[in-house]
């Protein structure tokens, strides 16, 4: 790789804060990124950063050098997007991160048609519920719950109307009974996504308006997909997005619990960085999802 290319890689490593984060944005391995930084240091005849357990630490020389590298990276990015805009042709690597459950249930089934429509695009998809800095990690778009929107520097377009419902496997209800009120949920094993206290309160909307119930249980999962699998296996009652469980209701694999209660306003959105020009690859991705999912 030429020196300018290595400088772009160096800028991304510094912005991302680690080799692994930079590797994800480029679609490479951390070891490959590390070798390229070593290459750049050899060409500059100086140490630019130190590797630490927590990430990286810039040297004084590296700090000064990074400002120049960042300028070059910005010029390259703008030039590439300008060419794509002029030609109007979506091409290159499209980097997307999506929540695990929605990715499996809705996003991936749509991708064969999308990639057939735009043969010059390559999709790099990460299914994860982690919080991602889309600018620092050079992610083109994130598919997230609109309720998670808290960054004023990004733009969100709602693409999917969703609500959360309570459900359980028939085997669990046969053994423990069907609750007849929200208050009776306290007598049941309720499955929770995290151990964060605020997530243990289920906000629901019922016939008499808004209601809250503090739930308890012996199982915590790190994603809605984990909770879904646990629910299918009869571990307890869960609150899940309707798009995850609708087919299971139809075939009787899961049963609605207190169907008069739902958690509304759990819509999905495509989130992308606010830029001077929106590149064709992001624009067509957002428009495609909106056309397929908005109904």
Give 84's pLDDT tier (boundaries 50, 70, 90): low
What pLDDT score was predicted for residue 131? 82
Most confident of 5-9, 45-49, 171-175: 171-175
Q: What is the mean pLDDT of residues 226-235?
A: 97
Dihedral of CA 274/280/281/282: which sign?
positive
Tokens of 233: 């296996």
> Which residue did the predictor score with more confidence, 5 or 252?
252
Most confident of 45-59, 239-253, 260-274: 239-253
CA 128 → CA 3, 103, 142, 292, distances in Å? 34, 9, 10, 22
205, exposed or middle or buried, with CB in 10 Å at 0-12, 13-18, 19+?
middle
Residue range 96-145, pLDDT digits in tens:
999 999 999 999 999 999 999 999 999 999 999 888 888 878 899 999 99
The pLDDT mean for the chain works out to 88
Most confident of 203-212, 250-259, 278-287: 250-259
Is residue 213 scored above 70 in pLDDT? yes
Most confident of 72-76, 119-123, 148-152, 196-200: 119-123
What pLDDT score was predicted for residue 195? 55
Characterize the bridge pairing of strands 55-58 and 49-52.
antiparallel
Specify the range with the lowest mean pLDDT, choosing from 196-205, 228-237, 254-263, 286-295: 196-205
Specify the range with the lowest mean pLDDT, choosing from 52-61, 204-213, 273-282: 273-282
Domains in the chain: ranges and CATH? 3-86 (1.10.10.10), 88-161+267-293 (3.40.190.10), 164-256 (3.40.190.10)
Q: What is the mean pLDDT of residues 227-243?
A: 97
CA–CA distance, 5 with 14 (Å, rounded to integer): 15
> Which residue did the predictor score with more confidence, 198 or 211?
211
Give 289's pLDDT tier (boundaries 50, 70, 90): very high
Instruction: Report yes or no on whether pTM surpasses 0.85.
Output: no
**DSSP state string for the chain:** --HHHHHHHHHHHHHHTSHHHHHHHHTS-HHHHHHHHHHHHHHHTS--EEEETTEEEE-HHHHHHHHHHHHHHHHHHHHHHHHHHHHT---EEEEEEE-HHHIIIIIHHHHHHHHHH-TTEEEEEEE--S---TTTTT-SEEEEEGGG---TTEEEEEEE---EEEEE-HHHHHHH---SSGGGGGGS-B-BS-S-GGGGEEEEEETTEEEEEE---S-B-SSHHHHHHHHHTTS-BEEEEHHHHHHHHHHTSSEESSTT-BB----EEEEEE--SS--HHHHHHHHHHHHHH--
Give 194's pLDDT tier (boundaries 50, 70, 90): confident
Give 286's pLDDT tier (boundaries 50, 70, 90): very high
Kindly state the greatest CA–CA separation across the chain. Answer: 73
């Amino acid at each position: 790789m030429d020196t300018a290319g290595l400088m772009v890689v160096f800028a991304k490593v510094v912005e991302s804060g680690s080799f692994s984060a930079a590797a994800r944005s480029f679609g490479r391995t951390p070891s490959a990124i590390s070798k390229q930084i070593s290459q750049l240091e050899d060409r500059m005849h100086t140490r630019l950063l130190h590797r630490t357990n927590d990430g990286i630490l810039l040297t004084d020389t590296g700090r000064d050098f990074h400002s120049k590298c960042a300028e070059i990276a910005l010029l390259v990015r703008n030039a590439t997007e300008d060419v794509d805009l002029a030609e109007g042709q979506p091409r290159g690597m499209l980097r997307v991160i999506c929540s695990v459950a929605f990715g499996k249930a809705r996003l991936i089934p749509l991708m064969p048609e999308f990639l057939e429509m735009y043969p010059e695009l390559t999709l790099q998809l990460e299914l994860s519920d982690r919080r991602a800095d889309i600018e620092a990690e050079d992610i083109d778009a994130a598919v997230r719950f609109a309720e998670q929107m808290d960054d004023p520097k990004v733009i969100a377009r709602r693409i999917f109307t969703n609500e959360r419902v309570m459900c359980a496997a028939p085997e669990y209800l046969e053994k423990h009974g069907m609750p007849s009120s929200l208050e009776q949920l306290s007598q049941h094993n309720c499955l929770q996504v995290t151990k964060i206290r605020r997530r243990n309160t289920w906000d629901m909307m019922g016939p008499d308006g808004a209601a809250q119930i503090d739930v308890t249980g012996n199982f915590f999962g790190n994603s809605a997909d984990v909770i879904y699998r646990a629910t299918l296996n009869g571990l307890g009652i869960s609150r899940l997005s309707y798009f995850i469980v609708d087919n299971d209701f139809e075939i009787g694999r899961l049963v609605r619990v207190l169907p008069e209660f739902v958690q509304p306003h759990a819509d999905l959105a495509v989130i992308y960085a606010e830029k001077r020009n929106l590149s064709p690859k992001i624009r067509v991705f957002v428009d495609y999802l909106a056309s397929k999912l908005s109904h």
